Amino acid sequence: MDPLLDPAEFPEEPTGPEYLLHLYITGATPNSTRAVRNIKDICEEHLKGRYELLIVDVYQQPELAQEKDLIGVPTLIKMRPGLVRRMVGDFSDRERVLKALGVTPPTSLL
């Protein structure tokens, strides 16, 4: 790199999507299926093109669940941006999920 160039003038390129989410489920149970559908709907509506969602079936990969010390499933872990956040449930309370993700939903017109 040229010693006369200031690295602060050249911000680093982002290395991936803005939101990185890990969803831990237990097979194709009704609660897991509902959780997958709900979080995908939320992400497509509010984070389209800005997220990566990794879905892990703890029956098929129990070591990953053990690694994360899960206390219940389905569990969604927001890895980035900001602080790591964990949510357990089927994610049907959209307002709560959006708040946990740090997303402000658009205000509806009255």
Looking at residue 79, which CATH number applies to its domain? 3.40.30.10
12 falls within a domain: no
The order of strands in the sheet holding 85-88 is 51-57, 19-25, 75-80, 85-88
Query: pLDDT tens across 40-77, in order?
Result: 999 999 999 999 999 999 999 998 888 888 888 999 99
Return the higher-pLDDT residue of 12 and 54.
Answer: 54
9 falls within a domain: no
108 falls within a domain: no
Number of compact structural domains in the chain: 1
7 falls within a domain: no
pTM above 0.85, yes or no: no
Query: How many helices (DSSP H) and strands (DSSP E) are in the chain?
Result: 3, 4
Q: Which domain holds residue 91?
A: 19-101
38 falls within a domain: yes
